[in-house]
Structure 1
Amino acid sequence: MSGDYIATAFDEYRDGGQVARVRRYYEQLRDGTDIVSEDRVGQVIDQLNNNLDYPEYCHIKGIRVAVDEALDVHSDDIRDDFADRVIDRLGFVAVETSDGVYATPERAKQLAQENKTDDDLDWYEMDKKDRVEHLVAALKARANGSSSAGVDYNQVRDQIFDRHPSNDYCYELMSLADEYPGFEYGEHNGKLRLRYNRESDPAEIDDDWVDRAVELIEEFCKETGLPPNDVEQPILDNRIVQARFPTEYDEVEGPNDQAIENVTEEDRIRVRVAIDDSGSNE
């Protein structure tokens, strides 16, 4: 029955039928059946992914374009119904700071934070230092909710500075940002990128891991009867990885090689000082 209504409504539209008549058919259908089938929603999502390469966010206009291309829809009401269903199927939510933009919940938070940072942008009143600091703040905002983030010159130019700087000036700003703690500028996967690693930024380091490392070493010493000062470096590094990089530690296989390499002499000193302060060696 729903197929008959759709076909009749489209025929009326294409044959020059009055808008009121088309709307009447649509309203009859909407009130009595669910015209937005899951298969058709899937077709729209496939088209959207093809258009935007599996987006984490997009504007409602882009979704409506995908509806038109996938289903050849001519009614605004039907188009909007499909768009709403696509948003629901993808699990998208509205981005608070951007009217008409929908994103995954995590990306929506990042976009909202970035947009708040962008509100502070006044390109022509900034000097070079201001622009570097704005770039640093924007990249830190992108890392919100994760340990790292990275950008190339295109993203710096278009997304962070609203297309104000030239390509060469973007590279210069990225190079200067390299001097800030936690930032690294260089070639990555064949592109020059500025990357930020929260775990390399002293201002962002959480000292709770040191206390956890001390607890793990004390547990080891209690089991083995070994004084904490006699714990060898491989055991110390193992416990540091467990405490500081828990996602890089497997209970069966232990820490991965990269995590062990990430343990620094400064990490070892901080843990040993904390052990002395705790009185474990007494």
Structure 2
Amino acid sequence: MRIQRGGPAVAGLALCLGALVACGGGSSGGKASPAGDTAAPPTAGATTGTSAGGPLASKRSGGHPLAGKVVVIDPGHNGGNASHPREIAKQVYVGNGTKECDTTGTDTVSGYSEHAFTWDVSNRLAKILRSQGAKVTLTRKNDTGVGPCVNQRAAVGNDLHADAAISIHGDGAAASGHGFHIIEPLAVGKNAKIVAPSAKLGTALRDAYHSGTGISYSTYLGTKAIDKRSDLGGLNMSTVPKVFIECGNMRNKGDAAKMTSASFRQRMAESLAKGFDDYLG
């Protein structure tokens, strides 16, 4: 999420947040996913429920602990961002200043893009949560569009009065660093009331993700995989409990091997679903 590839007018962190259409994990524009990583994500509409398989769903088949809970999932970046640099470079208000509407994201050395990664994991997670009775909305409808802007991504959760929201990313740090981390909001104004519940959500997701995937805490950022920031519009503009997760460092060979594996992305989604169950159930 840190490295921006494509879109010369856009620079800085590749974190994208927010809104009505969604920001999806993105990076190198037209780069294709590596061979062997073509397992398609679920194609159900953003608000259409589908049943989920997998170990987590099987274990919970006897009940629906998340019934009626509203969850918003924000797949970082979007597939069309790189070809629309002017649109995503537009400045938007993020609570304590302005930032780019969106960014392109990062990718693995082999060319698997962050926007494709976040779209896949987000759909897998949505499928599991819906099977448990949750009402799930994604902030973008596909992986071929542009944006939405980070403030719009936050507005999706706000408008739905979500019980919890998450923005899913893959980091683009130096290749020597590895592991995952959660980003929690610092108070910048309108988000002050959600700082404490967001910290609880972050801890629940961190513990479940670490336990379920075996991925280590980040070796290069955060304290025990928790980082707190005040520069992300998706968190600054949120009025519902929300965190970001950098699921791994896409520039690190070991993390990339996991993130380009369809079966491991399913494992990531199941682990995150367990975190939501722990927080909301």
Q: TM-score, normalised by structure 2?
A: 0.24
Q: Which has the higher contact order (CA 8 A, sep 6+)?
A: 2
Q: Between Structure 1 and Structure 2, whose CA radius of gyration is higher?
A: 1
Q: Which has the higher helix share?
A: 1
TM-score by length of 1: 0.24
